[in-house]
Structure 1
Amino acid sequence: MATQTESAASFMYPLKGFLLSYIMSESCYDEFFLNFNFLHVPCLKAVLSKVLGIGIILGSVLVKLPQILKVMKAHSAEGLSFNSVLLELLAISGTMAYSVANNFPFSAWGEALFLMLQTLTIGLLIQHYGGRTGRGVLFVFVYSVLMTVLLSPLTPPSVVVAMQAFNMPAVVISRLIQAATNFSNGHTGQLSAISVFLLFAGSLARIFTSLQETGDSLMALTYVTSSSCNGIIALQLLYYWNSSPQLKEEKKKKKKE
């Protein structure tokens, strides 16, 4: 019996280190594994938030990759709005700076880092396939410099708070621009359905995790707004599912004939 207990303890030791570092507090560990109270609501909510946060971050590493690959495969960024990308970058940058300034845990905002890198890449591709490669390179350079300054102690806290407050209108305007572009074109162009639906799901989950891990109502409201706007784009994708630039051109040709 003693041997079995020692064996179980030796197995749980590395697992305990992992759980305490990334998933739960020591009090919650005690509730689950010492008291066997698996229905402890506060701990369940905290663990669910951590797991969702880590899942969102891991998913964000690849969330816009389908969009990037679709644009590169088509050698076209038709249907994508550069102005929408700029506003999205502004919103992401504000979230990153606000989170870093307030020392929020990485699990509460980490996906913003990966979304920023992928959105920046999409902006570069839009410029490149629009015949403005030099402007695209300059765009990446200027943004990188501005972001470095924003995350440094040189930026006053009031500026960071103002950027986070501006996130909501930035997100709304960004998505409305993309939605208007889709409506005007009559299709969603090179928008990736996988990326759009993953972003929608991630922003929904972030409402819960931001409230649970930061308790910041401004962060939570930003994700509520983001979810609503991402939902509009997702609905457009479903509505224009059988529409494409090629089909639209074929219809025009038939009308002319």
Structure 2
Amino acid sequence: MFGYEINNSDSSTFHFYIISFLIALCSMFIKMPQIRNILHAKKAKSVSLRAILTETCGHSIVLVYHFAMNYPFTSYSEYIFLVPQDLILLCILLYYNDRFDMRVVTGFMVYFFSCIFLASGVISNAVLKIAIILATPISFFSKSLQIYSLHQSKDVGQLSFTTWLATTVCSTARLLTSLYETGDHVVSMNFLCSILLNIVIMVQIVYYNWVNRKEKLP
């Protein structure tokens, strides 16, 4: 598929299944450090609400696309855990920004019904392909919003380096397994874009932490 020759040797298959299992296991807790930081501080400084909202849309598209295309469960299992954590984080951010109201509840209802409809298989593959192509610019836009927010505040705030590091590691591993299990280069490009921008955010976190600590020194 998509001009990629997939290796189906039993040994390679077993290794990639193990990697996929570890990715899914890591993803079960990947957002927890970020959520913990916000709940502990009772604020969400430097965590971009728009970035999380956009990221949730992007992750949901990837999940729905893989499900509707009947790809192997191991090729997208982490999104089963990522999307609920995104939604929890989004609710927390809306709460601490005093923006959780009936419009948000209505928006969540529309979101859930849209995901169910798209995953049901009634949508043509051509439309699904357009959706997954959009996932890459959505991911780019999401992380760009976080990069810009951090650049503006120049303060790490409640951003969790652990969450971003784990996300980068999982995305790198998923890039390899996605090529092996689906051969879908559009999906792979989405992961590659995420990896590069995740690295930028991690560098920002390290840099601004260093700058702030240096300024506090007598």
TM-score interval for Structure 1 and Structure 2 normalised by the shorter chain: 0.7 to 0.9
- The answer to whether the 8 A contact 2:69-2:125 is kept is no
- The answer to whether the 8 A contact 1:123-1:136 is kept is no
Which of 168, 171, 191 in structure 1 is aligned with 2:139?
Answer: 171
Deviation of 1:154 after TM superposition, in Å, equals 3.8
* Pairing of 1:1-257 with structure 2 (within 5 A): 42-134=9-101, 135-242=103-210
Matches of 1:139 and 1:196, distance apart in 2: 27
Q: Percent identity?
A: 26
Gap regions ≥5 residues in structure 2 = 1-7
Gap regions ≥5 residues in structure 1 = 1-40, 252-257
Deviation of 1:56 after TM superposition, in Å, equals 0.4
Change (3 A) 1:247 1:130: farther
User: Which one-letter code corresponds to 1:167 in the other structure?
Assistant: A
Q: Deviations over 1:58-103 (max 9, x none)?
A: 1101000111111111111121112111221121112112211221
Q: Deviations over 1:4-42 (max 9, x none)?
A: xxxxxxxxxxxxxxxxxxxxxxxxxxxxxxxxxxxxx94
SS where residue 133 of structure 1 aligns? coil
Q: TM-score, normalised by structure 1?
A: 0.75
After superposition, the CA RMSD in angstroms is: 2.3
The farther-off stretch of 146-155 and 111-120 is 146-155
Deviation of 1:219 after TM superposition, in Å, equals 1.5
- The answer to whether the 8 A contact 1:66-1:192 is kept is yes
- The answer to whether the 8 A contact 1:203-1:227 is kept is yes
SS where residue 209 of structure 2 aligns? coil
Deviation of 1:220 after TM superposition, in Å, equals 1.4
Deviation of 1:46 after TM superposition, in Å, equals 2.1
Q: TM-score, normalised by structure 2?
A: 0.87
Change (3 A) 1:142 1:73: farther
